[in-house]
């Protein structure tokens, strides 16, 4: 009390001393904050270096304080990593930048005796994840439809995709006009086998024998499916990509719409737009379960929307213009199926920050999965959601990038990337969860 009065009497009688005192106090607290940050950065780096999990493979980490607008921790953050499905964060940003409220289903023009249409890459037409089907409802009212061919051909597979994954639903082929997610769903319940779309029933060979490895198989480059139905086979559902082609497209459309659908030679280009789905609905269904097909098609649509006939040229434009503040990266597809993709943890954070800055924390966090849902199922469980993040997994690679709210209410953006490990991925996921909980508690 005496000391307080002494200080008061001195400082309140000398304005110069008061100012100096304030400066000293500010420098003191700034120094403490700086020391705390340096200490924490050393501690985090030490944890990653000495961890029995993280120390055994290539690990990079970047942490950004969104409220203070500064990076607070970086560990190997400028090194390039294989992002896997973290690549979908690029696609999410591009789609948010390209479209307003909804995505277009197709272009159309009504004619005296028919409907002229042109596809724009919409992946939701007759896709089972989208019960609301505006495009189907619109087309089903016409008995004669003329389809304008797209001048640019889309390669069904992306650069660096694995050819032997052709039988798995996560690698459906890309196309301008998609139906049923470009997949066949073969399902067995009790003794009843159902095939959707029914058009493919004649393409499925049913064999009453033990399966040699897969319950359902498909020939490479051909729409020939084999279902093995041994007497002890339990119920199952398999989603198998089909081979896309112009001929098959017309057959499927005719069968599905019960209409005459033909390719037209007319030079007329339809100009009216039919919108199909709310943009954020599609993004949620892409991001949360990590749907590769939706991601690839959204990138195709975004390129078209911005006037690019080449997806490669569009990606270069995005990198050079929209994302010019990011470092050099290798970006070859929309989903992350390719191992050719490369990006740094610090650029993952910069990308998410741009998304938050341009579209808002609330909107971005609503698209990303939180604890207990999507690819974060059984992880980060809490009554109050505190993490909103995208996983990215390929063999020997698992990454997590997104938003984190600390116990004190701070908003952080992070990216933790792990490449080239040999232990089970579940061990990596648990280690990441424990690590991020430490971060959450420390701030």
Decide if 399 contacts 376 (C-beta within 8 A). no
Cα–Cα distance for residue pair 291/315, rounded to 1 Å: 20
In angstroms and rounded to an integer, the radius of gyration of the C-alpha atoms of the chain is: 27
User: Given CA atoms 119, 124, 127, 132 in this order, what sign does their dihedral have?
Assistant: negative
Residue 106 phi/psi, 5-degree rounding, is -170, 170
* Local confidence pLDDT in tens for the 443 residues of the chain: 433 443 344 334 454 444 444 434 443 433 444 444 555 667 788 889 889 999 999 999 999 999 999 999 999 999 999 999 999 999 999 999 999 999 999 999 999 999 999 999 999 999 999 999 999 999 999 999 999 999 889 999 999 999 999 999 999 999 999 999 999 999 888 878 899 999 999 999 988 777 676 778 899 999 999 888 776 567 888 999 999 999 999 999 999 999 999 999 877 889 999 999 999 999 999 999 999 999 999 999 999 999 998 999 999 999 999 999 999 999 999 999 999 999 999 999 999 999 999 999 999 999 999 999 999 999 999 999 999 999 999 999 999 999 999 999 999 999 999 999 999 999 999 999 999 999 999 88
Whether the CB-CB separation of 257 and 145 falls below 8 Å is answered with yes
* C-alpha dihedral sign at 137, 139, 142, 143: negative
Q: Is 398 helix (H, G, I), strand (E, B) or coil?
A: strand
C-alpha to C-alpha distance for 58 and 77, rounded to whole angstroms? 11
Sign of CA dihedral 385, 388, 393, 399: negative
Cβ-contact 326, 351 below 8 angstroms: yes
- Helix residue ranges per DSSP H, 125-226: 134-139
Within a 10 A sphere around the Cβ of 246, how many other Cβ atoms? 13
Torsion of CA 210, 215, 218, 224, to 10 degrees: 70
Residue 320: which residues within 8 A CB-CB, separation 6 or more?
Answer: none
Domains of the chain, with CATH numbers? 43-96+284-442 (3.40.710.10), 97-283 (no CATH)
| CA 110 to centroid of chain Cα atoms | 36
Residue 198 CA to chain centroid, in angstroms? 30
Cross-strand pairs, 398: 393, 418
Alpha carbons 119 and 427: distance in angstroms, whole number: 44
What is the dihedral sign for C-alpha 91, 92, 93, 98?
positive
Q: Is the pTM of this model over 0.95?
A: no
- CA–CA dist 65, 55 (Å, integer): 25
Check residue 326 and report its DSSP letter.
S
């Amino acid at each position: 009390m005496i000391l307080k009065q002494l200080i008061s009497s001195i400082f309140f009688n000398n304005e110069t001393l008061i100012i100096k005192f304030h400066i000293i106090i500010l420098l003191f607290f700034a120094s403490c904050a700086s020391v705390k940050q340096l200490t924490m950065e050393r501690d985090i780096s030490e944890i990653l270096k000495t961890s029995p999990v993280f120390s055994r493979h290539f690990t990079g980490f970047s942490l950004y304080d969104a409220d203070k607008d500064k990076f607070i921790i970086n560990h190997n953050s400028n090194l390039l990593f294989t992002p896997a499905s973290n690549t979908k964060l690029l696609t999410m940003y591009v789609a948010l930048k390209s479209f307003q409220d909804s995505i277009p289903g197709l272009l159309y023009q009504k004619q005296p005796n028919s409907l002229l249409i042109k596809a724009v890459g919409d992946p939701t037409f007759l896709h089972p994840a989208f019960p609301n089907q505006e495009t189907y409802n619109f087309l089903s009212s016409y008995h004669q439809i003329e389809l304008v061919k797209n001048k640019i051909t889309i390669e069904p597979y992306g650069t660096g995709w694995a050819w032997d994954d052709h039988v798995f639903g996560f690698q459906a082929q890309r196309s301008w006009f998609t139906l049923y997610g470009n997949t066949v769903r073969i399902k067995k319940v009790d003794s009843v086998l159902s095939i959707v779309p029914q058009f493919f029933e004649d393409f499925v060979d049913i064999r009453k024998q033990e399966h040699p490895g897969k319950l359902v198989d498909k020939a490479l480059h051909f729409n020939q499916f084999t279902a093995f139905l041994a007497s002890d086979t339990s119920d199952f559902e398999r989603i198998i990509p089909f081979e896309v082609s112009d001929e098959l497209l017309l057959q499927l459309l005719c069968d599905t719409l019960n209409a005459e659908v033909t390719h037209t030679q007319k030079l007329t280009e339809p100009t009216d737009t039919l919108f199909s789905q709310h943009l954020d609905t599609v993004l949620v269904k892409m991001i949360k379960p990590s749907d590769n097909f939706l991601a690839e098609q959204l990138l195709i649509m975004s390129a078209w929307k911005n006037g690019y006939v080449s997806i490669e040229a569009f990606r270069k434009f995005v990198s050079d213009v929209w994302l010019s503040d990011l470092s050099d990266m290798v970006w070859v597809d929309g989903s992350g199926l390719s191992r050719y993709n490369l990006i740094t943890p610090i650029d993952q954070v910069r990308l998410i920050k741009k998304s938050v800055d341009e579209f808002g924390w609330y909107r971005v966090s609503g698209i990303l999965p939180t604890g207990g849902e999507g690819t974060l199922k059984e992880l980060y469980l809490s009554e109050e959601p505190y993490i909103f993040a995208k996983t990215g997994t390929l063999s020997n690679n698992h990454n997590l990038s997104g938003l984190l709210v600390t116990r004190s209410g701070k908003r952080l953006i992070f990216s933790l990337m792990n490449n080239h490990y040999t232990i089970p991925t579940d061990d990596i996921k648990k280690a990441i969860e424990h690590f991020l909980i430490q971060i959450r508690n420390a701030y």
